[in-house]
Amino acid sequence: MVTLFHYRVIVLHQTGLMPWANMLVIKDRIMDRKEFIGKADEKLKLVRTEYGYNQEKMADILGISKKTLVQIEKGRSSLGWTGAIALCTIFERSEVLGAVFGGGAFDMIMALAFQDSEPEYPKTMGGKLWWKTLEETDKYKLQQNIVSQHYRILDQQDRRITSSFELQASKDYLKNLK
């Protein structure tokens, strides 16, 4: 069964001082692992260029051959699930990937990887840029990612309690935490 991930496609118009200015919501879409991998494949060359690496260096960083990297950049091959995760993890601060996945791709990767179980999540930065707080109690807050539209619950120390694709499931989880 493929895990579906509901997200909004955001077009980001870069300006000189504010690279994430002028956000425009285009339409609702459904993202699964296949589309996640496709987005990583599409942005591989831009990430490589963003970091100033040649093909040989980028291939070495990702642990693939230069020939494979060239094939991926030409759209003839794919990074696959693990390669896409490697790209998004190694280049977690990439502005190119941030624009595609709504900040770091960690939450999206975790949501796509774990369907019916919750892993132990590390502390977050509290959602200052890519997150909108929907509900807040004295101990927890429910947030929604402004790009991917998925939800998470954080505790007082900004540690992630859970992530979900479903708003109602998140609200029910928050209600049970109170």
- CATH number (domain holding residue 100): 1.10.260.40
Based on the domain organization, do 142 and 86 belong to the same domain?
Answer: no
Structural domain count of the chain:
2
How many CA atoms does the CB half-sphere of 97 hold within 13 Å?
A: 28
What are the tens digits of pLDDT across the range 103-127? 778 777 877 787 556 666 666 766 6
**Domain carrying residue 136:** 131-177
- Two structure tokens written together for 77: 């091959």
What are the tens digits of pLDDT across the range 19-73? 332 332 333 455 688 888 999 999 999 999 999 999 999 999 999 999 999 999 9
- Residue 165 phi/psi, 5-degree rounding, is -90, -20
Helix (H, G, I), strand (E, B) or coil at 72: helix
Q: Which element (helix H / strand E) includes 132?
A: strand 131-136
- Side chain identity at residue 105, one-letter code: A
Residues counted in the chain: 178
* 12 within domain boundaries: no
* 6 within domain boundaries: no
Beta-bridged to residue 152, according to DSSP, are 143, 163
Asked if the model's pLDDT at residue 4 lies above 70, the reply is no
